[in-house]
Structure 1
Amino acid sequence: MTSGSGNRDERMSGNGFIRAEAIVVRLVGILLGLALIAMVLVNVANAVGRYTGGFSLVGADELLVYGMIWIVMLGAILAARSRDHLSINLLPTAMSGVMAATVQIVVDLATVAVSLFIAWHSFDFISRIAALNQTSMGLGMPMVIPHSAVLVGFVGIAAVTAFLTIVDISRLAAFERGRK
């Protein structure tokens, strides 16, 4: 095997996947940051226009609220990926080894269950407002768009956490096989 094919094999391996995933996460984080900066600029422009009496951006407040909801929910997926979301690591940090890994798996399974529960109810609500063709007052935006952020966020949290749980279970199983 030549060194060129070895590099290709490495890119196709888990390390290549991990690097690609890290790049995607970094890009999403940058895009969320840029979206937040854009929202601040819209807010400043709207405030300047209002207080100088020159203009008012119709729907700016709605856009800011809906944009913030999307940023928070997409950021929650990234936080779940790094396990910085909705958890107090008091028990796992006080334990070590198999017990800490087991507690982490239980926490992850609970996170997946709760996230799927919320996602299901969000989907149900979105279905209802879609049937009504409800739109926002300022922008005339279909309300399905801002409400979908909750669905996307919790489905994303469930998917990321389920993947991390599978990885943790396989590591725990490998550890247990190594102990025997």
Structure 2
Amino acid sequence: MLLLAVMVVSVLVQVAGRYVFNFSIAGATELATFAQIWMVLLGAGYAMRSRLHVSIDVLVAMLPPAVARALLVPVAALCLWFLWVVFEGGLQLIEVGAIQTSAALQISMQIPYIALPVSAAYFGLEAVLAFGAAVLGRAPVTGGGGVRLD
């Protein structure tokens, strides 16, 4: 909610600056962009917790529960491998960001780049919890087609 509020306020400041004062405030646009990056990447982990990610589970829904749970193990492994690649790439990007500054705000690019490893770690935690619960039989294997179950 805080990141959304930052986005809304900075866009309103930009619009007011442009149309009321006839002056573009570049820092406001950049701040809104960085807030959106953080919001989307952290929101992906929350969506994993709430089982809101799009999935095609027609085949899984037709399988016996034991087979469906077994099928989740390689799926979870692939997801976690991808998140590990994103995490490592984010760490490398942070190193590059140490020598760069943003164009308008003149802040270190490490600040927006750190969103990648932080969000990948959070998403990975939520994925382990979600897949683990399904594999162990504590949660349904299918997610209801992207519809919240609670």
TM-score, scaled relative to structure 1 = 0.67
Aligned 8 A contact 2:72 2:135 in 1: no
User: C-alpha distance in 2, partners of 1:45/1:129?
Assistant: 27
Within the candidate set 33, 37, 47, 1:65 is matched to: 33
Match of residue 35 from structure 1? 3
Q: Offset at 1:152?
A: 1.2
Within the candidate set 121, 135, 147, 1:169 is matched to: 135
Q: Offset at 1:73?
A: 0.5
The residue identity in structure 2 corresponding to 1:138 is A
- 1:105-155 superposed Cα distances (whole Å, 9 cap, x missing partner): 33222111111111111112212322x2x1111111110110111211111
Match of residue 55 from structure 2? 87
Change (3 A) 1:90 1:147: farther
Match of residue 106 from structure 2? 140
The residue identity in structure 1 corresponding to 2:89 is H
Match of residue 114 from structure 1? 82
Number of aligned residues:
138
The secondary structure found in structure 1 opposite 2:114 is helix
* Runs of 5+ consecutive residues of structure 2 not aligned to the other structure: 139-150
- 1:62-86 superposed Cα distances (whole Å, 9 cap, x missing partner): 1011100000001001112223336
* Runs of 5+ consecutive residues of structure 1 not aligned to the other structure: 1-30, 173-180
Within the candidate set 111, 118, 121, 1:155 is matched to: 121
Change (3 A) 1:97 1:113: same
User: C-alpha distance in 2, partners of 1:48/1:69?
Assistant: 23
The secondary structure found in structure 1 opposite 2:51 is coil
- 1:6-45 superposed Cα distances (whole Å, 9 cap, x missing partner): xxxxxxxxxxxxxxxxxxxxxxxxx3xx431441232122
Within the candidate set 53, 71, 78, 1:103 is matched to: 71
The secondary structure found in structure 2 opposite 1:71 is helix
Match of residue 148 from structure 2? none
Q: Which has the higher helix share?
A: 1
After superposition, the CA RMSD in angstroms is: 2.1
